[in-house]
Structure 1
Amino acid sequence: MNYSCISGRVTKDIELRKTKDGKSSIRFTVAVNRRIKDAGADFIPCAAFGKTADLICRFAQRKGSRVCLEGHWQSGNYVDKAGKTVYTLELIVDRYEAIDFGEVATKEGIAEEPQEPIQSSMDESMNEYGTGFPF
């Protein structure tokens, strides 16, 4: 089973990108503290697509925003300019939930917290091929 749930803070402001046909995508990194106090943090590369990407950008776009993400790992590779193969691994976000919405609401000028947690699910961002990818 390829499934992970992480909770951490966004490391820098997230930039929303749109494909030519208007589908959203983002790539960002989340700092996740290790279980042992003062053991540091791991920096998890993440990607989200469709409505999930839109929601993350709306409520957790800023550096330091706390997020809870559920998703699956995807590996890949590419050849860099020097001709060397680079291997990648990132968490593809299937579900997002805001943490500390009050902090974000204050920054964004939103008057009050929603009654339900802000979340998205994989079903909302699926394309015709059954993936969250914009292609």
Structure 2
Amino acid sequence: MNNVNLIGRLTKDVDLRYTSNGVAVANFSIAVNRPFSNQQGNNDADFFNCVVWRRIAENTANYCKKGSQVGISGRLQSRSFDGQDGKKVYITEVVAENVQFLDTRNGNDNNKQKEQNKSDLQNNQSNSSNENGEPVDIDNDDLPF
């Protein structure tokens, strides 16, 4: 049995190309968090190269970008080729048969808006004053976002 299910975030924008026969093929990689913490208390991630074909490839390229969260189901596939130095190169990748877009359509736009609001507030901190005209010290921990 060869079945893979992953949930992760795209590490870069999807690379969409077409074969000489006009079949769409997209390549991308996703970062998947490990379910445990390392000795420093941080969660490490594993990175997986993925390939998807036809209409799913076009949809993935059109609706997902770096940072988008996706769910992938498919299979592992290994292939090899001779590298430029003459050595055999082995590649294992996930051939996705289904890609679920887990972010809301406006999710990334909302995140950008939140970051912009936070940036605006931080830039205005030096110009903030109370009723007496004295500067007000606002800590980032006090921000609601």
Normalising by structure 2, we get a TM-score of: 0.68
Higher-helix-fraction structure: 2
> Counterpart of 2:49 in structure 1: which amino acid?
P
- Give the counterpart of 2:59 among 52, 55, 66: 55
Are residues 1:101 and 2:104 paired?
A: yes
Alignment of 1:78-117 (within 5 A): 78-103=81-106, 106=109
- Give the counterpart of 1:41 among 41, 45, 60: 45
Gaps of 5+ in 1: 108-135
Distance 1:104 1:54, change over 3 A: farther
> Counterpart of 2:101 in structure 1: which amino acid?
A
Secondary structure of 2:66's aligned partner: coil
Q: Give the C-alpha shift of residue 15 in structure 1.
A: 2.2
User: Contact 1:59/1:101 (CA < 8 Å) preserved in 2?
Assistant: no
Q: Deviations over 1:40-94 (max 9, x none)?
A: 100000000001101111221x110100000001001111111111111000000
Greater Rg by CA? 2
> Counterpart of 1:95 in structure 2: which amino acid?
N
* Corresponding residue of 2:17: 17
Q: Give the C-alpha shift of residue 23 in structure 1.
A: 1.4
Q: Give the C-alpha shift of residue 19 in structure 1.
A: 2.0
Normalising by structure 1, we get a TM-score of: 0.73
> Counterpart of 2:59 in structure 1: which amino acid?
L
> Counterpart of 1:56 in structure 2: which amino acid?
T
User: Contact 1:45/1:90 (CA < 8 Å) preserved in 2?
Assistant: yes
Q: Which aligned runs of 4 or more in structure 1 are off by greater than 6 angstroms?
A: none
Larger relative contact order, structure 1 or 2 (CA cutoff 8 Å, min sep 6): 1
Aligned length: 106
Q: Give the C-alpha shift of residue 105 in structure 1.
A: 7.3
Alignment of 1:27-38 (within 5 A): 27-37=27-37, 38=42
